[in-house]
């Protein structure tokens, strides 16, 4: 019911439409991207979303082929894995926790952690969040449902909470001499649960879904998750970035703000607040590409951080 | 540095200086995050108590170090050919995601190449362990002497038979059966210097339900040796002679031809006491005439 009213009545509000707060006050747009579907067709208006889901589910499928069908391409889970018996990959977030807890891991884990670290340093830390992490499916579902149900407001903790939490996670690891966060870390727990069995971990995943849905919009991924904070720190100098290259064409429809999991990153690039180039350089940007999809005017595109051109 | 705080949407609205506002907000956020992390830490501390029947894989570091090293990836589980190992799920009572096994379900088969240790990328399972016979996953304890069939005087012996380190880790010790007064009992006896804690004895115990012999963490299974207590016979062996001089050895009547201190009586032997008669049950009773 609120779907029609919110998309229609953008113009008559007094709050500046391009501020994050403005988007929050108007409530979320129930069906962002409709203009884009009309302008570009459904497929192009969902291109990055489909690619992203393919990536998330494909990576999950690689891990599940072994336990389900006996094709052991990848063993282990996102915390640490072995691909085709040769390629070790380890989550650098865990290695940092191990080092804080006072354990120096074997060469495989360090090598695997180095490979993953190098990848995310180069291509963008929070690519992990939007292209790999299985919790993203849960929080995206909560955000989608929140829009469709027209749930407005809510109380999310400050976005910096995750960085504090990241710091404390390491402090607690050092204080207890154990990977204390891994007892409760929903990210590793969810992925491990899908592959090795859940137990009561469904409760934690469900908790995140309902927290995001009913209490805090984008609360977990955007405000609390210390693992996301860690990857955001990695991504400060990453090459792959979103650019509002055709920002002159923007018609202030606000669809990008409605879908963006970190809407505060858009404004500096789109409206030139505090910067003159159209690149989104904020490390909180997960490079999910959803803004590219939902924009009917093709304002955004995924490019490199060296491409400051506008068109 | 505080001057650089970005003016947020509401910064201009009311009284306190931006610096004070910043400090207040930061303190609140830090406090909340700290509480959350502290909660996780305390939960972790509390939940790190391992249940007595949960056994870590071979080569596992001491539990404190293990919890700093294990990233819960499950590679050891994947390379266990007998599906012995599993990753703890939330609610299992074991630190969630860490590998363990329960001997009564599936014991460790003590693979010679120890694939679980080889698979571990972090060193939570220590690769210094190359001889599975040196693994110390736990220690078997014959914990229920009331229901163990051998303690009842029967010849079950199953735990002894299945022991991969038979006659070293578990021996059968023959002692007199005081109940029948004419039979032996062969008691399965675990020796800590050879037991790897694989749990095959616990798995094989024929009792329905719980096993009479169980693998326990070594911390629970063993008392601590009193460091000031010198064992005379060990000191004597090490030094080649008694530390306190030779003791007077008085003969025991009837056992003069036996080694000093050996009071055991074998079948067919009897103490050489004149007019010895075994005790008769009070009130007479029927003598079946049966002789051992």
Residues of B in contact with A160 (CB under 8 A): 26, 29
**Interchain contact B68–A (C-beta under 8 A):** yes
> From CA A178, how far away is CA B68, in angstroms rounded?
4
CA-nearest residue to B6 within chain A is: A274
Question: Do A47 and A293 meet the contact criterion of CB atoms below 8 Å apart?
Answer: yes
- Residues 77-106 of chain B with CB under 8 A from chain A are 77-79, 86-92, 95-97
Least CB–CB distance from A101: residue in B9, B36, B68: B68
Q: How far is B134 from chain A (nearest CA, A)?
A: 21
pLDDT at B288: 67
Give residue A270's pLDDT band: very low, low, confident or very high (50, 70, 90): confident
- Residues 30-59 of chain A with CB under 8 A from chain B are none
pLDDT at B9: 46
CA-nearest residue to A15 within chain B is: B9
**Interchain contact A94–B (C-beta under 8 A):** yes
- pLDDT above 80 (res A176): yes
> From CA A184, how far away is CA B45, in angstroms rounded?
12
> From CA B66, how far away is CA B97, in angstroms rounded?
12
User: Are B73 and A204 an interchain contact pair (Cβ–Cβ within 8 Å)?
Assistant: no
CA-nearest residue to A172 within chain B is: B41
Residues of A in contact with B121 (CB under 8 A): 80, 82, 88, 90, 105-106, 108-109, 112
User: Are B75 and A76 an interchain contact pair (Cβ–Cβ within 8 Å)?
Assistant: yes
> From CA A140, how far away is CA A117, in angstroms rounded?
25
DSSP symbol at B280: P
Least CB–CB distance from B64: residue in A177, A195, A204: A177
Q: Where in B60-167 does DSSP place strands (E)?
A: 86-87, 99-100, 139-142
- Considering only residues A216 and A52, tell me which one the structure prediction assigns the higher pLDDT: A52
- Residues 9-48 of chain B with CB under 8 A from chain A are 9, 25-26, 28-30, 32-34, 36-38, 40-41, 43-45, 47-48
**Interchain contact A177–B (C-beta under 8 A):** yes
CA B206 to chain centre: 20
User: Are B75 and A75 an interchain contact pair (Cβ–Cβ within 8 Å)?
Assistant: yes
Q: How confident is the prediction for chain A on average, in pLDDT?
A: 84
Average pLDDT over residues A120-132: 90
Residues of A in contact with B87 (CB under 8 A): 192, 196-197
Q: How far is A257 from chain B (nearest CA, A)?
A: 16
List of chain B residues with pLDDT < 70: 1-16, 44-48, 267-292
Residues of B in contact with A76 (CB under 8 A): 73-75, 78
User: Are A103 and B95 an interchain contact pair (Cβ–Cβ within 8 Å)?
Assistant: no
> From CA B166, how far away is CA A162, in angstroms rounded?
56
Average pLDDT over residues A62-89: 90
List C-alpha distances in Å: A144 to A31, A153, A190, A191, A300: 9, 15, 20, 21, 21
Backbone φ and ψ for A83, nearest 5 degrees, come out as -105, 130
Q: How far is B98 from chain A (nearest CA, A)?
A: 10
- Residues 194-223 of chain A with CB under 8 A from chain B are 195-201, 203-204
> From CA A110, how far away is CA A145, in angstroms rounded?
40
Q: Which of B90, B120, B128 to mutate to test the interface with A (most CBs of A within 10 A)?
A: B90
Question: Do B197 and B137 meet the contact criterion of CB atoms below 8 Å apart?
Answer: yes
Q: How far is B44 from chain A (nearest CA, A)?
A: 5
DSSP string, A1-53: -HHHHHHHTTTT-SS-TTSHHHHHHT---SSTTHHHHHHH-TTGGGHHHHHHH
**Interchain contact B192–A (C-beta under 8 A):** no
Over its C-alpha atoms, chain A yields an Rg (Å, rounded) of: 20
**Interchain contact A157–B (C-beta under 8 A):** yes
Most confident of A56-70, A189-203, B24-38, B265-279: A56-70
Give residue A31's pLDDT band: very low, low, confident or very high (50, 70, 90): confident
What is the number of H-type helices and E-type strands within chain B? Answer: 8, 6
Average pLDDT over residues A109-138: 91
Residue A93 tokens read as 């977030």
Least CB–CB distance from B43: residue in A184, A192, A199: A184
Average pLDDT over residues A53-66: 92
Residue A309 tokens read as 């051109």
**Interchain contact A282–B (C-beta under 8 A):** no
Residue A126 tokens read as 């929070």
pLDDT at B5: 47
Percent of chain A with pLDDT over 90: 27
pLDDT at A7: 42
> From CA B161, how far away is CA B182, in angstroms rounded?
25
């Amino acid at each position: 019911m609120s779907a029609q009213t919110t998309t229609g009545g953008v113009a008559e509000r007094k709050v500046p439409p391009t501020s994050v707060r403005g988007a929050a006050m108007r409530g979320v747009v129930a069906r962002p991207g409709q203009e884009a579907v009309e302008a570009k067709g459904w497929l192009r208006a969902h291109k990055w979303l489909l690619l992203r889901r393919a990536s998330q589910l494909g990576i999950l499928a690689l891990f599940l082929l072994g336990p389900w069908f006996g094709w052991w391409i990848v063993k282990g889970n996102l915390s640490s894995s072995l691909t085709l018996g040769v390629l070790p990959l380890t989550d650098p977030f865990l290695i940092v926790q191990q080092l804080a807890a006072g354990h120096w891991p074997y060469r495989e884990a360090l090598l695997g952690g180095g490979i993953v670290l190098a990848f995310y340093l180069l291509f963008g830390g929070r690519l992990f969040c939007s292209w790999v992490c299985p919790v993203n499916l849960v929080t995206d579902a909560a955000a989608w449902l929140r829009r469709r149900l027209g749930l407005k407001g809510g109380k999310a903790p400050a976005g910096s909470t995750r960085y504090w939490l990241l710091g404390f996670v390491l402090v607690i690891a050092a204080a207890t001499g154990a990977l204390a966060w891994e007892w409760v870390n929903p990210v590793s727990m969810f992925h491990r649960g899908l592959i090795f069995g859940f137990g009561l971990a469904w409760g934690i995943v469900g908790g995140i879904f309902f927290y995001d849905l009913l209490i805090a919009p984008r609360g977990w991924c955007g405000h609390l998750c210390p693992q996301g904070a860690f990857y955001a720190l990695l991504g400060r100098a990453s090459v792959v970035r979103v650019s509002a290259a055709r920002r002159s064409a923007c018609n202030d429809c606000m669809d990008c703000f409605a879908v963006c999991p970190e809407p505060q990153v858009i404004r500096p690039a789109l409206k030139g607040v505090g910067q003159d180039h159209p690149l989104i350089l904020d490390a909180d940007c997960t490079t999910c590409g959803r803004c590219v999809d939902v924009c009917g005017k093709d304002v955004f595109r995924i490019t490199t951080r060296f491409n400051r051109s506008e068109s | 540095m505080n001057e650089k705080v970005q003016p947020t949407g509401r910064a201009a609205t009311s009284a306190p200086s931006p610096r004070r506002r910043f400090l207040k907000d930061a303190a609140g956020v830090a406090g909340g995050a700290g509480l959350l992390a502290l909660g996780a830490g305390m939960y972790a501390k509390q939940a790190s108590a391992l249940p007595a029947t949960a056994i870590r894989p071979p080569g596992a570091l001491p539990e404190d170090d293990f919890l700093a090293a294990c990233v819960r990836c499950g590679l050891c589980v994947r390379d266990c050919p007998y599906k012995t190992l599993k990753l703890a799920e939330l609610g299992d009572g074991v630190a969630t995601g860490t590998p363990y096994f329960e001997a009564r379900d599936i014991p460790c088969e003590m693979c010679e190449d120890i694939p679980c240790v080889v698979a571990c990328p972090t060193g939570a399972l220590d690769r210094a362990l190359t001889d599975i016979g040196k693994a110390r996953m736990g220690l078997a304890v014959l914990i229920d002497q009331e229901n163990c069939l051998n303690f009842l005087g029967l010849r079950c012996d199953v735990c002894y038979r299945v022991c991969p380190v038979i006659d070293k880790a578990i021996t059968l010790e023959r002692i007199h059966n005081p109940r029948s007064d004419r039979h032996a009992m062969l008691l399965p006896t675990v020796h800590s210097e050879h037991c790897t804690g694989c749990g095959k004895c616990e798995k094989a115990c024929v009792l329905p339900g719980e096993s009479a012999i169980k693998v326990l963490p070594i911390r629970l299974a063993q008392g601590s040796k009193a460091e000031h207590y010198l064992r005379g016979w060990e000191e004597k062996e090490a030094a080649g002679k008694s530390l306190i001089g030779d003791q007077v050895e008085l003969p025991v009547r009837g056992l003069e031809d036996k080694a000093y201190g050996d009071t055991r009586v074998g079948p067919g032997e009897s103490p050489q006491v004149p007019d010895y008669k075994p005790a008769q049950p009070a009130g007479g009773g029927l003598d079946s005439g049966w002789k051992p």
